[in-house]
Homo-oligomer: A and B are copies of this chain.
Amino acid sequence: MSEVCARSKILEAAGEVFAEKGFKAATIREICTNAGVNLASVNYYYGDKEQLYLEAVKLSHPGRLGEGETALPEDIPVAEKLRVFVRGLLDRLAKDNDSSWQVRLFRREIIQPTPFCRETLEEFFRSRFSVLEKLVEEILPPGSPAWQRRQICFSIIGQCVYFRAAKNVVSMVIGDDEYDSHYNTENLTEHILRFSLCSLGLQKPFSLEDRPLEDRFDAEIGA
């Protein structure tokens, strides 16, 4: 198609294949075929497969992209900020994502980090996590311990990741119909947000009245 040099053609094809199959299952032969270059070109331009993968992941880093999603709107209620965060994360993790390989490859690294680019990912995780942590800190009472705050953050993140990563398991249990109708990004955002806001006391719990009180609030847990 485009008249670009072989080096970038390789990287483009490699990103696509790596995003599709992962590091191990992707083969240099397929990458070179798709790129329309000779088999030896990968080693000529990038040294070996591992360095090629690292270059691809570096290019997939959202910091390098102009997505600028790390900044949350300022002048909205904290619950709304949380919704933006949850939807953003779900979007990024969306399985049926026909977006660029950068997004898909980076999602791969989020869900199953390879040992090659640990530091590249670590920086991303920390920065994203701190956004959520500040958000939860706004909600929790001032005296709350930091470890508890972080556990809550991971509970929120965990739901997002699980719903996306375990699509197979979910649809295996509930069937494809219900999955299609209740597990798109919109549905999941609302559910996870509500589930989490209830815990945080910003929304009424799923079950409030119309239940007998004898077995309510009587689990001797925590405080």
What B residues does A121 contact at CB under 8 A? 172
Interface size on A, residues (CB 8 A): 72
What B residues does A157 contact at CB under 8 A? 162
What B residues does A166 contact at CB under 8 A? 158, 161
Bound together, the chains give a CA A126 to CA B208 distance in angstroms of 28
> How many copies of this kind of chain does the complex include?
2
| Stretch from A29-37, A62-70, A140-148 contacting the other chain | A140-148
User: Are B204 and A217 touching (Cβ within 8 A)?
Assistant: yes
Interface status of A52 (Cβ within 8 A of chain B): no
Interface status of A198 (Cβ within 8 A of chain B): yes
Q: A residues 162-192 with Cβ under 8 Å of B?
A: 162-163, 166, 168-170, 172-174, 178, 181-182, 187, 190-192
Bound together, the chains give a CA A216 to CA B211 distance in angstroms of 24
User: Are A202 and B216 touching (Cβ within 8 A)?
Assistant: yes
Bound together, the chains give a CA A90 to CA B102 distance in angstroms of 33
| Stretch from A9-17, A39-47, A53-61, A75-83 contacting the other chain | A75-83
Q: Which of B77, B169, B194, B216 contacts A222 (CB 8 A)?
A: B194
Given that A77-B218, A154-B170 are contacting pairs, would A205 and B201 also be in contact in the complex, using a CB cutoff of 8 Å?
A: yes
Bound together, the chains give a CA A5 to CA B44 distance in angstroms of 52
User: Are A140 and B217 touching (Cβ within 8 A)?
Assistant: no
Interface status of A135 (Cβ within 8 A of chain B): no
Greatest chain B CB density within 10 A among A126, A170, A173, A191 is at A173
How many Å from the CB of A134 to the closest CB on chain B? 14
What B residues does A148 contact at CB under 8 A? 191, 206
How many Å from the CB of A25 to the closest CB on chain B? 8
